Structure 1
Amino acid sequence: MKHELSLKKRFLKRVFDITVSFTGLILFSWLIIGAFLIACIDTKSNGFFIQKRVGRWGNRFSVIKIKTMKKIDKLDSTVTTSNDVRITTSGKVFRKLKIDELPQLLNVLVGQMSFVGPRPDVPGYADGLAGNDRVVLSIRPGITGPATLYYRDEEEILANQTDSQYYNDYVIYPHKVKLNKQYIYNYSLKNDIYYIWKTIFK
């Protein structure tokens, strides 16, 4: 596929991911366990949110996050806004501070995800890409990345739309694909470190 990362770049990216995710799991295991227990109490269910997502080359895998939403009958949209009634009290804090993303360090360690890359989509989005857009599937999905940073207030943006599903599918998502393609075309380890720094400190 055109514009795929070279073997050397893929190797350096993977070594970086293994090193940092392993270190992160050691440093933040206490926080993950604490958030898990709080989520168990707040949602009255398993504190881990496990969902099938589309990964590299369209392969499915189970993403692991801290659960931030409770189940409400007849509300099952995959598009979440800031005023979604399903978000729990602790979930609002976890989502704001990105604590709910920490368990994905395990996904990174085992090779299902990368630190930086396109966010892993639910089926029906990335697996439906065609033409040059499919280059997005040539790398592992990431915890953060340029599209994630650009739309870090995505839930607030969607909350202000009349039809949040339509706006997500026909405005935000196509722009994310464009940003993710640019990321791949201009990939460097230096940029990955910058995106991680910006995620943590911005």
Structure 2
Amino acid sequence: MAEKSSIFDMIGPVMIGPSSSHTAGVVRIARAAIRVLGSLPTHATITFYNSFARTYEGHGSDRAIVAGLLDYPTDDKRIREAFEHAKAAGLQYTFQGIGNASTMHPNTIRLQLRDERTGSEVDVIGQSRGGGVIRIVEVDGFPCDFSAGLHTLIIDADDVKGSIAFIADVIAHDDCNIATMNVSRKGKNQVARQFIEIDSALSEVALQYLRHLRWVHQVRYIPAIE
């Protein structure tokens, strides 16, 4: 006798299909990346790895990633015509696939983005974990692990004693709870990058205070992405 399906087996993200891994997750990776960049890009090099490299055209991941770079949400009907919208917006992009990256998650995407208007660049690696869930695992060569489902701070600061505790104290005094924190540096006494997920929004006053600290170089704030 066939097993009956539960309603809970069919619930997933509200999205344009065909697959939450290949569309919703891909859109969300791109939307997270443009928030790290701080603007919509004018140029993008998009690399699909492993299973994504073999299926991105047939499963619509190519359109999904371009739609995300235009900041379209996962349920936006314009995803199907993303290439046409990108052309109208002046977004230039290239695709490439690497099918045998054994150290990477099967559904991995690398986005190398540039905004010629501001001179900003960013290099983001994300994973689509299924059901629309993503993890951003690297930014500009700094390892990290955040979902973009919570409010996220990315802080570049001098690698000085007490800096992590000081920043955590500022966040706590703004009545925000830290969910996860990942600190990465490329060498001792070099600039360290802190990736901090928090449960609620940080106030503009707290953000400006952090930005004006002498030993803080850059603060990027990414509100939670639906």
Higher relative strand content: 2
Higher relative helix content: 1
For normalisation by structure 2, the TM-score amounts to 0.27
For normalisation by structure 1, the TM-score amounts to 0.29
Larger gyration radius, structure 1 or structure 2: 2
